[in-house]
């Protein structure tokens, strides 16, 4: 598959978001070559009049100046140090990051500002930036979530055609946790009839515990228009026997009730003793740095 990279500077770095656990999102890239069949961003693409189908992930916008713009935005007196999410609408550690290092530069900028940062990724390349993550974690509340919905090789290969193997993510997680960085596992999306089998979910939780994950959570697949058509087409190709059940489950709604799956994963996390076991817990100073320096 050939990928086009469009170097297009941005005017603003932070986007305001509603109804999430963070107030701002930060995306150095638009589009994602990982091309997961279930990618929720396909729904945004459809709303923005861009193709959510097989063309998604073949043209990546690279916001070459994003770190400079971000630095200016975080220096404004009006900036309240609200939580920022890096990677809410694209993977910040997709292959382009190897060359452009924009996520790395953004982490440095956010770290210096003392603002809380939540990073979500499927990319083990993040280990490259262990130095800036360690430094930023000493100045600001930084946490990373590795998305690892399953360790099943067949499900991973068919649903995440462009990502690194889940075991590589676990190795990266271990390296970061051993360095004192806060890193958990997000089992999302759990796919009905596939990765929701109890033994498969337990495999992930057990491996997350072995790697030292500080926490684990789960969510079920949701299918909004744009994602739904693409996912169901891929399902028909790879697991045609599941198609009627999905059509029934998602006939009238995009979201399923995830209470049971979440409770199951919580119980597994308790069973395997997942908690923050870091030997070194990197944390920002109790007082804002500026005040400390001013004393």
Query: Which range touches ligand SF4 (CB under 6 A), out of 28-36, 111-119, 244-252, 261-269?
Result: 28-36
Taking CA atoms, 82 is separated from 47, 89, 93, 124, 147, in Å, by: 27, 18, 23, 27, 23
139 binds ligand SF4 (CB under 6 A): no
CB of 138 to ligand SF4, least distance (A): 28
String of DSSP letters for 133-154: HHHHHTTS-EEEEEE-----HH
Does 39 bind ligand SF4 (CB under 6 A)? Our answer is yes
- The strand pair at 24-26 and 84-86 is best described as parallel
**Binding flag, residue 122, ligand SF4 (CB under 6 A):** yes
3-state secondary structure 67-113: HHHHHHHHCCCCCCCCCEEECCCCCCCCCHHHHHCHHHHHHHHHHHH
Binding-site string for ligand SF4 from residue 191 to residue 230, where x marks contact by CB under 6 A and - marks none:
----------------------------------------
Q: How far is the CB of 91 from ligand SF4 (least distance, A)?
A: 4
Does residue 90 bind ligand SF4 (CB under 6 A)?
yes
> Is 85:120 a contact under the CB 8 Å cutoff?
yes
Least distance CB 94 / ligand SF4 (angstroms): 7
How many chain residues are in contact with ligand SF4, going by CB under 6 A? 9
Sign of CA dihedral 171, 174, 178, 182: positive
Q: Does 96 bind ligand SF4 (CB under 6 A)?
A: no
Residue from the set 13, 24, 25, 34 that interacts with ligand SF4 by CB under 6 A = 34
3-state SS of 208-248 is HHHHCCCCEEEEECCCCCCHHHHHHHHHHHHCHHHHHHHHH
Maximum Cα–Cα distance across the chain: 67
32 binds ligand SF4 (CB under 6 A): yes
Q: Tell me if 118 contacts ligand SF4 by CB under 6 A.
A: no
Nearest distance from C-beta of residue 287 to ligand SF4, angstroms: 36
Binding site for ligand SF4 (CB under 6 A): 32, 34-36, 39, 41, 90-91, 122
């Amino acid at each position: 598959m050939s990928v086009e990279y469009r170097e297009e500077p941005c005017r603003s770095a932070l986007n305001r978001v509603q109804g999430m656990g963070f107030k701002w999102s930060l995306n150095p890239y638009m589009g994602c070559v990982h091309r997961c069949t279930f990618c929720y961003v396909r729904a945004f693409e459809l709303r923005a009049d861009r193709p959510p189908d097989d063309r998604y992930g073949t043209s990546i916008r690279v916001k070459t100046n994003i770190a400079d713009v971000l630095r200016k935005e975080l220096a404004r007196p009006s900036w309240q140090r609200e939580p920022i999410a890096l990677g809410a609408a694209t993977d910040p550690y997709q292959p382009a990051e190897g060359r452009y290092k924009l996520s790395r530069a953004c982490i440095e900028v956010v770290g210096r500002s003392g603002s809380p940062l939540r990073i979500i990724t499927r990319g083990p390349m993040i280990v490259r930036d262990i130095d800036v993550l360690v430094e930023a974690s000493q100045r600001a509340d930084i946490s990373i979530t590795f998305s690892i919905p399953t360790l099943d090789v067949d499900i991973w290969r068919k649903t995440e055609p462009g990502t690194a193997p889940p075991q590589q993510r676990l190795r990266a997680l271990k390296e970061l946790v051993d360095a004192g960085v806060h890193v958990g596992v997000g089992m999302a999306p759990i796919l009905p009839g596939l990765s929701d089998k109890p033994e498969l979910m337990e495999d992930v939780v057990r491996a997350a515990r072995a790697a030292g994950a500080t926490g684990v959570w789960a969510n079920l697949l949701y299918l909004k228009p744009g994602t739904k058509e693409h996912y169901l087409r891929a399902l028909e190709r790879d697991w045609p026997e599941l198609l009627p059940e999905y059509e029934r489950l998602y006939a009238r709604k995009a979201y399923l009730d995830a209470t049971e799956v979440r409770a199951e994963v919580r119980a597994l996390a308790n069973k395997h003793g997942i908690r923050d076991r870091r030997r070194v817990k990197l944390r920002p100073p109790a007082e804002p740095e500026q005040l400390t320096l001013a004393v």
